[in-house]
């Protein structure tokens, strides 16, 4: 294993957590594919940061161990690497700043680290600073903080809710009673998935389009056969619908990017001899799949179905017309 100093030191803690007999520096170096001197320096840094490492000589070899009871020295029975992961999760949840989830993880970490040595806290801060997590455009959920919190509680308590919902496509508002099955986060947004009694089917509602929310006293029973994964199989990203077989061809310039990712559980890829690639998906034809294809520009071509090809052509014609005659040949 090769990596920066923080990564190696994290790995050392992990190795020692899983080996009660301890490990020699040579064994640690072998596991990490690092030099012996490098491992000695890492151990020195970990001890200086307050981690309870010590050496013990047995069978003619010096072995490094985590001090007995090191778990119980923490406010909760966490391992050191679990504590590191918790610390870094604070950065991950910053995308949901202004929600109860981000505030709760901050509160949890404050409680857990209340009695940790200052050196250890500094070490954890260094870890967080070495891990960069980037996100695309995210929404400001501070205005929907109470809505998200109430829906999360209603979901846990199996309590029906009444919502006033504004549709994205038409802008019309409807009032409906929903049995909230799950609060779901996707692409930096929050959604409510539940049984809509108005439409008599399971629907997905964007949190920021819920204009008014009332938690009712009525309880409901969660269907035993409901599965979020199964429900979302009929969506490319968020919007569900009747799946159709979609085939898209990508020229060589985009093929590498496409084949490196899992876009949908149903995807099947075929690499062509000229370096191009075709992908087959079972997804509904809606704005999400259209915008995904258009995002690749001229490097993507819809092979089927004809209805999707027509929709792509319509979008391109509309864009061309919008830019005016000055750029047309």
Domain count, the chain: 3
Listed residues 202, 229, 256: the one ending a domain: 229
- Residues 165 and 213 occupy one common structural domain: yes
- Residues 20 and 122 occupy one common structural domain: yes
- Residues 148 and 31 occupy one common structural domain: no
Whether 180 and 163 have beta carbons less than 8 Å apart is answered as no
Do the domain assignments include residue 235? Answer: no
Listed residues 229, 264, 290: the one ending a domain: 229
- Residues 215 and 188 occupy one common structural domain: yes
- Residues 125 and 32 occupy one common structural domain: yes
Q: What is the pLDDT of residue 298?
A: 93
Q: For residue 256, what are the domain limits?
A: 244-323
List the chain residues with pLDDT less than 70: 1-4, 6, 58-59, 68-81, 92, 94-95, 115, 119, 126-139, 325-329
Query: Using CA atoms, how far apart are residues 30 and 121, in angstroms rounded to an integer?
Result: 29
The CATH number covering residue 218 comes to: 2.30.30
- Residues 30 and 84 occupy one common structural domain: yes
The CATH number covering residue 252 comes to: 3.30.70
**Separation in Å, CA 92 to CA 82, 139, 174:** 15, 15, 35
Start-to-end CA distance of the chain, whole Å, equals: 56
The CATH number covering residue 49 comes to: 1.10.10.10
Do the domain assignments include residue 237? Answer: no
Q: What is the pLDDT of residue 1?
A: 38
Closest Cα to residue 80, out of 120, 20, 36, 135? 120
- Residues 193 and 285 occupy one common structural domain: no
- Residues 18 and 78 occupy one common structural domain: yes
- Residues 120 and 19 occupy one common structural domain: yes
CA 257 to chain centre: 20
Do the domain assignments include residue 296? Answer: yes
- pTM, 2 dp: 0.60
- Residues 223 and 295 occupy one common structural domain: no
Do the domain assignments include residue 24? Answer: yes
- Residues 17 and 65 occupy one common structural domain: yes
Query: Using CA atoms, how far apart are residues 98 and 19, in angstroms rounded to an integer?
Result: 41
Tens digits of per-residue pLDDT, 237-291? 888 889 999 999 999 999 999 999 989 989 999 998 899 999 999 999 998 999 9
Pair of tokens at residue 165 = 């919902």
Query: Using CA atoms, how far apart are residues 149 and 203, in angstroms rounded to an integer?
Result: 20
């Amino acid at each position: 294993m090769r990596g920066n100093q923080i990564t190696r030191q994290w790995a050392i803690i992990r190795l020692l957590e899983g080996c009660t007999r301890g490990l020699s520096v040579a064994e640690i170096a072998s596991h990490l594919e690092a030099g012996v001197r490098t491992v000695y320096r890492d151990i020195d840094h970990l001890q200086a940061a307050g981690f309870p490492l010590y050496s013990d000589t047995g069978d003619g070899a010096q072995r490094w161990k985590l001090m007995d009871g090191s778990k119980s020295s923490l406010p909760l029975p966490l391992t050191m690497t679990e504590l590191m992961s918790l610390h870094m999760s604070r950065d991950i949840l910053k995308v949901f700043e202004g929600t109860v989830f981000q505030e709760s993880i901050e509160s949890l970490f404050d409680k857990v680290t209340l009695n940790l040595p200052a050196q250890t806290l500094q070490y954890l801060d260094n870890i967080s600073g070495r891990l960069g997590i980037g996100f695309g455009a995210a929404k400001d959920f501070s205005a929907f903080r109470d809505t998200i919190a109430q829906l999360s509680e209603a979901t846990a308590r199996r309590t029906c809710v009444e919502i006033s919902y504004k549709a994205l496509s038409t802008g019309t508002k409807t009032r409906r009673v929903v049995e909230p099955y799950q609060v779901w986060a996707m692409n930096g947004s929050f959604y409510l998935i539940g049984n809509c009694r108005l439409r008599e089917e399971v629907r997905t509602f964007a949190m920021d389009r819920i204009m008014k929310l009332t938690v009712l006293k009525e309880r409901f029973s969660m269907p035993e056969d409901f599965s979020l994964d199964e429900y979302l199989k009929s969506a490319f990203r968020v919007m569900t619908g009747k799946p159709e077989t979609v085939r898209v061809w990508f020229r060589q310039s985009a093929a590498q990017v496409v084949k490196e990712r899992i876009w949908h559980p149903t995807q099947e890829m075929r690499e062509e001899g000229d370096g191009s690639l075709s992908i087959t998906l079972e997804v509904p034809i809606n704005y999400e799949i259209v915008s995904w294809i258009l995002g690749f520009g001229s490097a993507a071509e819809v092979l089927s179905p004809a209805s999707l090809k027509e929709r792509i052509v319509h979008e391109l014609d509309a864009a061309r017309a919008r830019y005016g005659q000055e750029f047309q040949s």
